[in-house]
Amino acid sequence: MNFVFNLDNVVCTPAKGIRFGIIDYIEHCRPIEDTVIFMKWLVERGHTITIWCERPNDLAVKLGTESWLKLNQIPYDRLLFDRPLHMVNVDETPSHAKFYKHLGDLGIVAEMYEEWKNERQRKSSEFSGQENKH
């Protein structure tokens, strides 16, 4: 399995103040011990670790983060940047989300899809009503 971990507040204490080209704050991060031990356990059992962080996709930040991960012996197979804040993960066709709404964010997707369908139907009815008047 591929386990996707957020970096700040999950794998390590948050790096406050990171911006493009500024990496001074990375060195103040500390590993969160239970998470790191769990990640190593997953790797020992053949699982893949992806770290998807909210840090900017900037070369200086990337190199600083990779250096910090190596220094603190954090296992990972892939490191991704620019994770969106407050994201809703859509991993099913929206029209089918209602069948899987108990999984992940698909309940939100199902609700939004129904809202969109109702709005579309209402607009279509309004448009049909206007055509009939002409």
- Residues 61, 124 within the same domain: no
Domain with 106, as residue range(s), is 94-133
Write down the pLDDT at residue 84: 86
- Residues 51, 110 within the same domain: no
- Residues 18, 51 within the same domain: yes
Region 101-107: mean pLDDT is 90
| 79 contacts: CB under 8 Å, gap ≥ 6 | 50, 51, 53, 62, 65, 66, 69
Place of tokens 């109702």: 118
Residue 87 lies in a domain: no
- Residues 7, 68 within the same domain: yes
Task: Collapse the DSSP code of 52 into the 3-class scheme (helix H, G, I; strand E, B; otherwise coil) and give the result.
Answer: strand
For the chain, what percentages of helix, strand and coil (3-state, to nearest 5) are there?
50, 15, 40
Residue 86 lies in a domain: no
Average pLDDT, the chain: 89
- Residues 76, 98 within the same domain: no
As for how many domains the chain has, the answer is 2
- Residues 15, 53 within the same domain: yes
- Residues 70, 124 within the same domain: no
For the record, the structure tokens of 46 come out as 């053949």
Write down the pLDDT at residue 133: 62
pLDDT tens-digit readout, 41-58: 999 999 999 999 988 898
Residue 86 has pLDDT above 80, yes or no: yes
- Residues 67, 129 within the same domain: no
What are the CA-CA distances from residue 119 to residues 94, 96, 101, 114 (Å)? 15, 18, 21, 9
